[in-house]
Amino acid sequence: MDIRPLYDRILVKRVENPIKSKGGLFLPESASEKPSEGEIIAIGQGRLAEDGTVKPLAVRVGDRILFSKYAGNEIKIDGEERLVLREDEVLGIVEA
């Protein structure tokens, strides 16, 4: 089952964010907190402007993004948790 988000919404799969300490060690994040990092797996057709035109988004499918932990709507697709965000809720793009 695929989901096509509408307008400026994007579909995101949360990814674990392994914490690399200064010394190069990887520490797991607190298990009780969902990661606020994810990969974009689908994007809408663009932001709807006030005049009814649709403007392209700045994010792309495959982008790794950061978002606020309270952002978006949780949905389930084939039993897997996904997140639907608005592009404006994306704090930044991770450049590896």
The yes or no reply on residue 58 touching a copy of itself (CB under 8 A) is yes
Q: Is 87 in the site for a copy of itself (CB under 8 A)?
A: yes
Handedness of CA 5, 9, 14, 15 (dihedral sign): positive
Using CB under 8 A as the binding rule, whether residue 12 contacts a copy of itself is answered as no
Measure the CA–CA gap between 21 and 34, rounded to whole angstroms.
19
- What tokens were used for 46? 């663009």
Chain centroid to CA 52: 25
Q: Which is nearer to a copy of itself, 31 or 88 (CB)?
A: 88
For the chain, how far is it from start to end, CA to CA, in angstroms? 29
CB 31 to a copy of itself: min, Å: 15
- Residue 39, interface with a copy of itself (CB under 8 A)? no
Task: Evaluate whether 56 touches 48 at the Cβ level (below 8 Å).
Answer: no
- Return residues touching a copy of itself (CB under 8 A): 1-7, 9, 11, 17, 19-22, 27, 29, 36, 42, 44-45, 47, 49-53, 55, 58-59, 66, 68, 73, 75-76, 78-80, 84, 87-88, 90-96
